Structure 1
Amino acid sequence: MPDQVPSAPDPGPGPVPGPRERIVSGLLRPSRSQLVVGLLLAVLGFAAVTQVRITETDDTYSGLREQELIDILTALAGTRQRAEDEIAELEAVRDDLSDDTSARRAALEQAQADVDELSVLAGLVPVTGPGIRITIEEETGRVSLSSLLDTIQELRTVGAEAMQLNGAVRIVADTSFEETEGGFLVDGELVEAPYTLDVIGEPSVLASSLRFLLGPLAQLQEDGATVEVDERSSIDIESVHEPEDPDFSTPDPDE
């Protein structure tokens, strides 16, 4: 009879896991229900923190007494008023500066206008404008110095702004005249007949100033000259007067 092989013993039930092992197993391999519960707890926690923060913010002034709130509002109103006052002050300064700038600009413009006018009268710059051209030819006699000077002076009296003789010499207040052989020395420059006097001003007024009885025109004709007066809408005076430096006087630095 053959030998019988003994069967393997039944291992029986394994050891039962303790509480710690169950917690570790749950953390490492959470079930679906555990995940849902954890997510709900996280949402509730975030909502609770947010509500606390909002409550703290809303409670910033809610815990204050009425007088304290009034004091805060009064302080805010005072701060606003000070800001408005500063803005008004700055705007006033701006307006003052604007007024000063406008006044300064007007003064500069007036000063420039005065300089331009004086430059024309002093013969320092070329000019153009309406006026007359006087042509004087010696026919039967020589033009006298007094007749020429009377003509120039009469034109100045009625408002001549600029004068030029023979297209070369600018006539101004201190222009010198000297009678010489063959003509006149005007500021040291020889000017010979025929004489052409260009004058800028109101044409009709300038022309009328020469034609009155015993006036400049009559004197020139009495000297033996023929005179032609031509009114023009535009006359160019290109010559300029070279001013001489004063020998003794200097500008006052305080003026």
Structure 2
Amino acid sequence: MSEEQTETGTGWPKPADPERPAGPGGEPDPRPDAPDPDELSPLVPRTEPAEDGAGVEPAEGAAAVSPDDGAAAPAGAGRSRVSTASVMIAALLALLGFTLVVQLRTTSTDPTAGVTRQEDLVRILSDLDARENRLRQDIAGLEESQRQLRSGEQGRQAALDEATRRADELGILAGTLPATGPGLAVRFESGAKPISATRVLDAVQELRGAGGEAMQISGGDRASVRIIASTYFLDGENGSLVVDGRRLTGPFTITVIGDPATMRTALNIPGGVVASVQGDGGNVIVEDREAAEVSALHAPIKLEHARPVS
């Protein structure tokens, strides 16, 4: 007895599965235990539903078709996407380059230089050259003083002379000592509008910036007030000015000691003091003085807490 007969238990071989009969019309097999015709087709892969609702992978050798893809992608789709991305990147780079060029042209162009006249530019350049020369002279003087202080026997006398000179300079700046030297006399004449305290303060600041070392302001009644760092200006009644608590009537004259050419250039800069006063209907008359005298003195400040150290 063969192994096949032993496994069936009947002594006879297990009968083979019935084959699908080939009918003329392709009718289904009437037998109740007939297999599913689709299971016999070698062209369709058999799939069974899994527990999570997903289908079982197709049999080996069968082509897998995604349910989301209605049709296969065309062969040139990848090249089309790459070409579109390249065009967009190139356009963005071109836009970025154009923006950078416009920004550089905007920042490199000074809007004030285009409307400034050549004569004004020459004056500004001359003012800068004069300031540079003055600073170089100050540096040379300080270096000479340092050399003298280190020269041994002459050091003591040089130190005393330097202290005296420094005290005189501080006295002039503080307004406790009179001063004389080359400078300007700036006269303000009012027009339809009175000369305001703001215009006078602007003039003082322009003169200081141009190297004015000592100055005073005088009114129409010849009263004068020394201008120092703490001086303030207020508008008074009937076009008058209040300077450090003292009332002055117009016209007003500022006497300043310094380089005349440099200070004149500072006052006549477009949009400066002279242009502002003329815009209000007034006038500014600037006169050179070979020996401008600043004689008004400022009362020394009485110190309450500080004292010099000997």
| TM-score category, normalised to shorter length | 0.5 to 0.7
Match runs of 1:161-180 below 5 Å: 161-166=213-218, 168-180=224-236
Report the structure, 1 or 2, having the larger strand content.
1
Structure-2 residue corresponding to 1:17: none
Structure-1 residue corresponding to 2:302: 245
Matches of 1:163 and 1:223 in 2, distance apart?
A: 25
Matches of 1:160 and 1:123 in 2, distance apart?
A: 13
* Aligned residue-pair number: 155
Matches of 1:231 and 1:207 in 2, distance apart?
A: 9
User: Using CA pairs below 8 Å that are at least 6 residues apart, which structure has the higher relative contact order?
Assistant: 1
RMSD over equivalenced CA pairs, Å:
1.6
193, 197, 200: which one aligns with 2:250:
193
What's the offset of the Cα at 1:224? 2.2
Q: Which runs of 5+ in 2 are unaligned?
A: 1-150
Counterpart of 2:205, as a letter, is Q
Matches of 1:171 and 1:232 in 2, distance apart?
A: 18
1:4-35 CA distance string (max 9 Å, x none): xxxxxxxxxxxxxxxxxxxxxxxxxxxxxxxx
Q: Is the 8 A contact 2:213 2:257 kept in 1?
A: yes
Identity %: 36
Task: Please tell me whether Structure 1 or Structure 2 has the larger radius of gyration of its CA atoms.
Answer: 1
Q: Which runs of 5+ in 1 are unaligned?
A: 1-98
Matches of 1:118 and 1:252 in 2, distance apart?
A: 15
Q: Is the 8 A contact 2:191 2:280 kept in 1?
A: no
What's the offset of the Cα at 1:101? 4.4
Counterpart of 2:204, as a letter, is I
172, 186, 196: which one aligns with 1:134:
186
Q: Is the 8 A contact 1:144 1:223 kept in 2?
A: no
Do structure 1's residue 214 and structure 2's residue 271 form an aligned pair?
Answer: yes
Q: Is the 8 A contact 1:164 1:237 kept in 2?
A: yes
168, 179, 202: which one aligns with 1:150:
202
Matches of 1:162 and 1:156 in 2, distance apart?
A: 9
Match runs of 1:61-210 below 5 Å: 101-166=153-218, 168-182=224-238, 183-210=240-267
TM-score, structure 1 normalization? 0.58
Moved >6 Å (runs of 4+): none
